[in-house]
Amino acid sequence: MISCTGNKEDKPLAYYGRFKSIPANAITPKGWLKQYLLNQRNGLTGHLENAGYPFNTQGWAADSITGNKSIEKWWPYEQNGYWVDGMIRCGLLLNDTFLLNKARKSIYYVLNHPDRNGFLGPKYYELDKWVYVVFFRAWMAEYEATKNPGILNALKKHFLNNRFPYTNIRESINIENMLWVYYELKDTALLNYAREIYKKSNEMFKNSQVSDISFLKDSTAGGEHGVTYLEKSKLGAILYLYTGDSTYLKPSIAAFRKLDKYNMLIDGVNVSSEHIQTPTTQESHEICDISDYTWNISYLLKATGDASYADKIERAAFNAAPGSVTKDFKALQYFSAPNQVIAARNSNIRDGGGTMRYAPNPGTECCPGNVNRMMPNFAINSWMTDGKDGLVAAMYAPSSVKVPVGKHKNIIIVDEDTYYPFSDTINFTFHMKDKNSFSFYVRIPGWCKKANILVNGIALNQTITPSSYININRKYKEGDNVTVILPSDFTITDGPENGKSVERGPLIYSLKIKEDWKTDIHDERSTHDFPAWELFPESPWNYALCINRENLQQQIKVVYKPYSLNPWSIENAPVELKVPARIVNGWDLEKKTEMKFEHWTVERDARGKVIRWYIDNSTMKKGSWLFSPLLPDAGMLKKGLSNITDTVTLIPYGCSKLRITVFPVTGNF
Ligand SMILES: [Zn+2]
């Protein structure tokens, strides 16, 4: 029997992670980050009902959704759950009453309407209980900010009074919420329950790509659903946080290492279209995977304190994330890619459809929900503690943080002033009443070989190693200043089809293509204020870069533009690179007049619950499609390469909405 009372005799339980999260409302975003979140507030995060169903329903703020028209009845709960989670976090960061009230309507409706056993949320017990994880993440953020004990007690009852097996493949992810409640309440029944679910789920799905033993195999997870893989792969790291047992942690580490080795795209997120695949220059990721990759890998950062995980989060947050959303945060892509020179109704190579358009609701409705979580979660995870009384600047962006530090837990404020990732200097200023000794950790990214740290203008007398956190442990006083300088060099990275990409520090660079924005008047899930867009290229994009790996500083000219609080568009790109390039004649959009379509069928049980989806047949259809092409092969490159060398402009990936990021090259590699 599981006891709901907990064991008061237990000592407070340890937290085994190297780093620990900070409540969202302890962090105040500034500069471009604040503006990005304000755009979210004024855009889709604050007004997602403009994207139509299911965001114009009651969502979680009712016993059931009137007119639930999804094929899978749990979908609108997942989709609205993502939204509420992103909204409450964005609201807490901005201290914005409008967002907080709107998100809290759903949170407190469910909190105030448990059933007689304490079960929370919609009473369709056949719903895939994965959807609760998504929604309860919003409760985690709300509790950490408000310390409302009702949240913890309600969740404890929900889990322990209603012993569901949580056996479906994504249902085991409930242990994320369960372990969080366990730590807050120190009730070992929850820990034991979570361990049991993890073990059973691994046994049941041992032959899938998402079991602990499969994660440990050095082979691609190709074919697995991207979201399922990312969500499942972090569970071991979470169990490690609360047990210190490294047998839990190892499969999580291996799972993300495999993505790096076999499935990673240049912009920092794995191929997930929607399944994990081998990268090509026509492959893409679903926006859900950008949100989920950064969220899930943050648990590995907390577990290990390994700076390389923070580098990965920054890479996705500064490149893939802003590159898949319009600058006003009113439209997003379902699938986005490093090479996308067209984003129209007929340009997604997987299904021939319009999921690469920028629209409020361009495909299945998960992504318009999940997009709201990307930048708020980056902002929240940018500051952490060391699990004791020290402060960690885990990732960099303009902000300030108010936290208790040192032996006496005195509250201090640290201002972080920077234009990072567009500049290499980060300035921290400390504000406090009394002098205070504590650890302050700053990160040296793996790409930075010549970092400098100044304390009150004087170089820090410590070894500074790339890909590490440097502990500046000293007695701090009001007005103290720590400056981190991270000079970056150009790097050329190998990609699919012998393509190469240009990187510099945390940013990946893409060809600046003149974008022709056409309103998609046929889109039924858009409004006058929240339009859908098709994007067409209005300038040549078929360039090969004329560079080689040696002396890149001499080959590439850097141009700095005026500072903008809204940097994520081609007109406001704060940095441009001028690079020699030549047109490749014959490298054009891929035209198709016939395409194979897979027909998916749903198998249901007698009660109408979905058992499985399967492809029952494929048909060839005629039509007119235009796709971003693969890179030219050696023959085309030789035959089509122009004799004239132009100078092209590259801009940060996140500023581009059409782009080439993986280029053919003429240089000697
Ligand atoms: Zn999605």
Residue 272 Cα to ligand 1 midpoint, Å, equals 10
Instruction: Kindly state the DSSP code that residue 658 receives in the 8-state scheme.
Output: S
The strand pairing partners of 533, in sequence order, are: 358, 519
Q: Please report the pLDDT score of residue 348 as a whole number.
A: 92
- Residue 105 Cα, ligand 1 centroid: separation in angstroms? 24
Ligand 1 center–CA 274 separation, angstroms: 8
Separation of alpha carbons 134 and 327, rounded Å = 26
Q: Tell how far the Cα of 239 is from the centroid of ligand 1, in angstroms.
A: 26
The structure's pTM equals 0.96
Nearest CA among 569, 653, 649, 657 for reference residue 32: 569
pLDDT at 210 > cutoff 70:
yes
Tokens of 144: 């950490």
E strand or H helix at 474? strand 468-476
CA of 370 from ligand 1 middle (Å) equals: 7
Q: 3-class SS at 609?
A: coil
If DSSP codes are grouped into helix, strand and coil, which group holds residue 145? helix
Average pLDDT (287-304) is 98
pLDDT value of position 255: 98
**In DSSP terms, which residues pair with 393 in a beta bridge?**
383, 442
pLDDT of amino acid 9: 44
Rounded to the nearest whole angstrom, what is the distance from the C-alpha of residue 587 to the centroid of ligand 1? 31
Q: Ligand 1 centroid to 58 CA: how many Å?
A: 20
Three-class SS state of 250: helix
Q: Which residue has the higher pLDDT, 105 or 610?
A: 105
CB 401 within 8 A of CB 391: yes
Distance CA 479, CA 455 (A): 11
Task: State the distance between the two ends of the chain, measured CA to CA, in whole angstroms.
Answer: 65
Over the stretch 491-511, which tens digit does the pLDDT of each residue have? 999 999 999 999 999 999 999
**Residue 614 φ then ψ, to 5°:** -150, 155
What is the Cα–Cα distance from 413 to 397, expressed in whole angstroms?
A: 16
Beta carbons within 10 angstroms of residue 422's beta carbon: 21
Q: With residue 160 as reference, give the H or E element that holds it.
A: helix 149-160
The full DSSP string for 78-114 is: HHHHHHHHHHHHHHHHHT-HHHHHHHHHHHHHHHT--
**Per-residue pLDDT at 1:** 35
Token pair for 313? 């989060």
Distance CA 576, CA 656 (A): 12
CA–centroid distance, residue 358 to ligand 1 (Å): 14
How far apart CA 14 and CA 575 sit, in angstroms, is 46
How many Å lie between the centroid of ligand 1 and the Cα of residue 276?
13
CA of 369 to the centre of ligand 1 (A): 8
More confident residue, 75 or 126: 75
Residue 351: pLDDT over 90: no
CA of 170 to the centre of ligand 1 (A): 15
Going from the Cα of 289 to the center of ligand 1, the distance in angstroms, rounded, reads 7
pLDDT surpasses 90 at 103: yes
Find the range with the poorest average confidence among 227-236, 346-355, 519-528, 530-539. Answer: 346-355
pLDDT score at 618: 86
356 Cα: distance to centroid of ligand 1 (angstroms): 12
* 567 CA distance to ligand 1 middle (Å): 25
pLDDT in tens, 386-408: 999 999 999 999 999 999 999 99
Cα(650)–Cα(660) distance, integer angstroms: 9
Distance 53 CA to ligand 1 centre (A): 15
pLDDT score recorded for residue 68: 87
pLDDT at 668: 66
Distance 71 CA to ligand 1 centre (A): 15
Phi/psi at 509 (5° precision): -110, 140
Q: Give 363 Cα–ligand 1 centroid separation in angstroms.
A: 8
Residues 409-441 pLDDT 10s: 999 999 999 999 999 999 999 999 999 999 999
Q: CA nearest 536: which of 345, 298, 289, 274? A: 345
Minimum mean pLDDT range among 180-189, 301-310, 594-603:
594-603
For range 108-121, the mean pLDDT: 96
- Spacing, Cα 40 to ligand 1 middle (Å): 18
Calculate how far, in angstroms, residue 200's C-alpha sits from the geometric centre of ligand 1.
27
Ligand 1: distance of its center to the CA of 165 in Å? 26
Q: What is the CA radius of gyration of the chain?
A: 25
For residue 288, report the distance from its CA to the centre of ligand 1, in Å: 4
Per the CB < 8 A criterion, the answer to whether 43 and 35 are in contact is no
Q: Does position 105 have pLDDT exceeding 90, yes or no? A: yes
Confidence of residue 6 (pLDDT cuts 50, 70, 90): very low
Q: How confident is the model at residue 10 (pLDDT cuts 50, 70, 90)?
A: very low
Bridge partner residues of 619 (DSSP): 597
Amino acid at 463: T
Give residue 146 CA to ligand 1 midpoint distance, Å: 30
Q: Around Cβ 624, how many Cβ atoms within 10 Å? A: 11
CA of 456 to the centre of ligand 1 (A): 46
Instruction: Say whether pLDDT at 263 is over 90.
Output: yes
> How far, in Å, is the centroid of ligand 1 from the Cα of 458?
48
Is pLDDT at 11 greater than 60 in this prediction? no
If you average pLDDT over every residue of the chain, what do you get?
A: 95
Kindly report the three-state secondary structure assignment for every residue of 319-343. Answer: HHHHHCECCCCCCECCEECCCECCE
Closest by CA position to 442, among listed 387, 378, 383: 383
The per-residue pLDDT for 29 is 98
